[in-house]
Structure 1
């Protein structure tokens, strides 16, 4: 999406409140990476969650809680987001933002290695209607398999950064992350358990429906 098109979409379709607007500044103050999803992706996640009728959402990768807020706002009063985050300081900052947004009771965190947290969720026979993957790219394939395992039939799985700033389109990039994401994209395109599309918004947003 061209810069002019992005600004048009954001100005017309995405209304960020002060909590969402303040997250970038808070990340900068805490020397945390500025890798939250862009506003139009946040709104897309919100709409997909709403349309799916999800009551239970799994998020893999929290950071400052920007996408978490969009997801939680799409849920009914009795809905719940389970968010997996590697670092406690990120989860703490995210909870600050969720509290400001009045959503702290709708979100719980599992802090630590996402693979371990996913194994715990599997052992507890947890099931989700919407799953968002936005974490370390080298483990995207593992996260996808666990997401399918944890998904109810008809659940939506979304994944961010599937263009990796254009590296996916340039085969000269052979680092572990681009290689992993290229394989992830091929997998969601061909896996018989899924119906999928890659949207050209943000840095590439994959959308899958679990059959």
Structure 2
């Protein structure tokens, strides 16, 4: 009788182990298929974000290479995904060369054509787009925008990716052409005398208040 029970227990244990192994195998296959299909590598299917009618979006009649700004690409990213677009902006920073390709960044904000020092009114924050482009085209840019320079304004044409599968799911444009629209130039920063006087006055007030605070605290401790 004991032998029969032992055999049944061994049979149950064996069946339990086989079930565990089968479950582990099924999970491993599932994970492998998920990785192979892309989501684990940043290629998850794009969620369909509803259109924002306040910004430009493509229709079935929208031609290839239509001009679009960064705000529209961000606000209606799902609609523009995969479309060939034209994008114009000021080249800023530097070209980051990666083999025969390069990253550049183009700003199309309110300061693209003229900076504040040259009389541009305050127009909000900076905005732009990352562009993946052949390095030889990126080398056509001579002046990149920074504190001392207004960068070249360039126009590129390329395919917009809302979540690029080649670049970790980042939003970018893979450009195939680049045209210099306006050559950049040095920026002359004029010394603002009135601001300097105001800053000096505020510094003196802050120092006086600090001294008064120290004197008051000393009197309270006596």
TM range (shorter): under 0.3
Bigger share in strand: 2
Larger radius of gyration: 2
TM-score when scaled to structure 2? 0.22
